[in-house]
Amino acid sequence: MEKFVDRFLIYKGSHRERQNVAWNILGSAVYALASMVLSFIVMRMAGEDEGGIFGFGFSTYGQQMFIVAYFGIRPFHITDGRQEYSFGDYLWLRTATCGAALLLAACHLSFLMLTGEYSTHKALVIFLLAGYKIIDGFADAYESEFQRQGSLYLTGKSNTFRTILSVAVFLGILGISGNLLTASAAAVAAQIAGVLLFNVSVMRAGALPGVEFQGDADACLRLLKNTALLFVSVFLDFYIFSAAKYAIDGQLTDAMSGYFNILFMPTSVIYLAANFVIRPFLTKLTACWDGGDWDGFSRVRRRIGLVIGGLTVLAVAGALILGRPVLGIMELLLGTGYEGRLTEHWIAFVVIILGGGLYALANLYYYLLVIMRRQGMIFLVYLCAAIAAWFLSPILVVRFEIMGAAVCYVVLMAALTLGFCGLQGALFRKAKESET
């Protein structure tokens, strides 16, 4: 084990910053690629209905349970440069939130099964996929501490190797058994093994000297209080992001849910690319804000915003030019019987990509508000958008199906972007004028 950890910690000294960026990019790319491609592969291997169940369970319901486990703590954790809370405090709270997420998923899915809304098979598959994502939420506590201590490369390595391990096991078992339920159970087992190997053992072996594993009950309660609004905000954020998917799951077929998930895949690429730029600079933005370096803060913020905006323009232009042919190729890859199932929605595909760019930009301003410790304002924006999503999404999906879902998505993302951008801009100007 010591030899394994030594190899895991190979990058030190002056190369640390470069490796932080490189491994963050690789880890995020592998994770996002798996999220994008798996729904497509399952549809190809197991059929459109199973693909739809997997896509919804993995990228929507499971991710919603990940949010409960995650509890919105990561931005607070990685920007806690003054070490207000120990790693033990964060870990104990995250363990409690993971348990709560597992219980919530079990109760909710049992209710849907008993009322006849979900079959037993669908409920069990989605529960296992939720469990997979909840384990991701537990691993994130370790990965957040890696980043807080300036070792983001460890986070990237963990994401890379855990994802490869669990995806390989899942696809291997699905190919052998042809059973989605069995493959999902195997993926959960592989995910647990990955966390023990690439997170727990690395931290316990002294990857970050001086880390305090002991949690304090009073500190955990204070941390819970400080992050409660962030959790509600992030929970609402993902509900807003997924409102169209929930509406499709409730109003249309599993197959339609699967097709929408495929159309939705490129948004992950834009969000991933945005995180390549945002995450490595969060600690720098925090230092600038805490130190009153307004010019430095403004400069980094502006550069990140321009990069995300440029990526969005390129993505939308590419979708307009290449969207229809690309969707046609995907239909061929899915096999016979899928002709025209995706290409008929290529305009909706373009609209979804625009929404993905707006969501990436909204996340930049969200992180800025977290650095400014304005959880109340974040919550207010999310609450207003969630109320709009609750009323708007089923109406548009019932009337216009996939096109209605796409329009709903882009409208909600635009609302989040405008709300966060306006608030952080006003707070920045106020802070700068106050010091002057």
pLDDT along the chain (436 residues), means of 10: 55 63 78 81 89 91 93 82 84 93 96 92 96 94 85 85 94 94 96 92 75 81 84 86 91 88 82 74 83 85 88 90 90 84 91 92 89 85 93 93 94 94 89 74
Q: Does one domain contain both 163 and 260?
A: no
Q: Does one domain contain both 150 and 285?
A: no
Distance (Å, rounded) from C-alpha 108 to C-alpha 116? 13
Q: Does one domain contain both 206 and 241?
A: no
Is 353 among the domain residues?
yes
Nearest alpha-carbon partner for 148 in 106, 67, 219, 90? 90
The domain boundary residue, chosen from 193, 215, 237: 215
Q: Does one domain contain both 156 and 278?
A: no
Residue type, 173: I
Q: Does one domain contain both 261 and 155?
A: no
- CA dihedral (149, 102, 275, 240) positive or negative: negative
CB 42 within 8 A of CB 54: yes
Q: How many helices (H) and strands (E) does the chain have?
A: 17, 0
Nearest alpha-carbon partner for 41 in 197, 234, 200, 173? 173
Distance (Å, rounded) from C-alpha 244 to C-alpha 246? 5
Is 361 among the domain residues?
yes
Provide the residue range defining the domain that includes 338.
229-436
Q: Does one domain contain both 182 and 90?
A: yes
Tally of domains within the chain:
2
- In this predicted structure, what is the pLDDT of residue 403? 95
On the CB side of 226, CA atoms within 13 Å amount to 19
Give the rounded distance of the alpha carbon of 290 from its chain centre.
27
- Determine the 3-state secondary structure of 92 from DSSP: helix
3-state helix, strand, coil split of the chain in percent (to 5) is: 85, 0, 15
Q: Does one domain contain both 156 and 236?
A: no
* Cβ neighbours around 168 below 10 Å, total: 12
Burial 91-127 (b: 16+ CB within 10 A, else e): bbbbeebbeebbebbeebbeeebeeeebeeebbbbbb
The domain boundary residue, chosen from 166, 191, 215: 215
Q: Does one domain contain both 48 and 191?
A: yes
Give the rounded distance of the alpha carbon of 282 from its chain centre.
17
Q: Does one domain contain both 242 and 285?
A: yes
Is 222 among the domain residues?
no
Is 221 among the domain residues?
no
- In this predicted structure, what is the pLDDT of residue 196? 93
Q: Does one domain contain both 195 and 256?
A: no
Task: Give, in order, the Cα–Cα distances in Å from 245 to each of 101, 282, 289, 387, 393.
Answer: 20, 30, 37, 16, 9
Q: Does one domain contain both 182 and 243?
A: no
Distance (Å, rounded) from C-alpha 165 to C-alpha 185? 14
Is 351 among the domain residues?
yes
Beta-sheet strands, E only, within 370-419:
none
The domain boundary residue, chosen from 154, 189, 215: 215
DSSP state of 232: H
- In this predicted structure, what is the pLDDT of residue 4? 54
Token pair in block for residue 102? 């597992």
CB 244 within 8 A of CB 355: no
Is 220 among the domain residues?
no
Is 223 among the domain residues?
no
- In this predicted structure, what is the pLDDT of residue 122? 95
Is 382 among the domain residues?
yes
The reply to whether the predicted model has a pTM over 0.85 is no
Q: Does one domain contain both 204 and 318?
A: no
